[in-house]
Structure 1
Amino acid sequence: MSGDRAFTTTIIARDHIARIVDAVGLDALMDEMIESLQDAIESFDETRTHVRARDGFHYREPDVGLLEWMPVMHTAQATTIKVVGYHPSNPAKRSLPTILSTISVFDTAT
């Protein structure tokens, strides 16, 4: 890599969400979320936003699980892919949450 461009990964855990809720209050947080969703819906442009059908794998080995990906591209801006893993045995077997997800955003120019 060259240049001064910094790449970062942000991990948001349950404790982070709890601190946000404690700091701003659940009602204020939900009001902000609803407003953000309304803005996104109102500004949606189907000629510039390309949403692909969710797809994935459902499997039974080594444990029952589901892995899905949900891609969307905003023309000339970014491509975002959300990947969600659902594994009901995680809490008991691995001390992990049942649902784990990752959202990756890619600049379409780079």
Structure 2
Amino acid sequence: MERVLAVRLEDADQIRVAVKAEQVGGALVGKEDIVARLSSVTRPIQQLGHELLQAVKAAGPDAATVEIGCSLAIEQGQLIALIGKGTGEASINITLEWRRQPTPAG
């Protein structure tokens, strides 16, 4: 089940976000009104991105693409980013590319 949640941005503006609301026992999790901060989602994604960048740099490719797929949900009254929760599958795709350097003639 999805519901619309008010999410506050850093400049105090609000956007509306459709999030998953889960049924636990007889109660709908997140049925109360919540105004969440988007930073509760963006900060963990920033940290994940930073750690992935460090791993990519260590691999030393000439080019790299990292794609992180996530959805939003309400958990214990907080807006969170879900990566693989529920399905047990994470959605992180990494493409590394090395270009072959030409060998010097002679």
- TM-score tier, shorter chain, comes to under 0.3
- Structure having the larger proportion of residues in strand: 2
| TM-score between both structures, scaled by the size of structure 2 | 0.24
| TM-score between both structures, scaled by the size of structure 1 | 0.23
Query: Radius of gyration: which is bigger?
Result: 2
The one of the two structures with greater contact order (alpha-carbon pairs below 8 A, sep at least 6) is 2
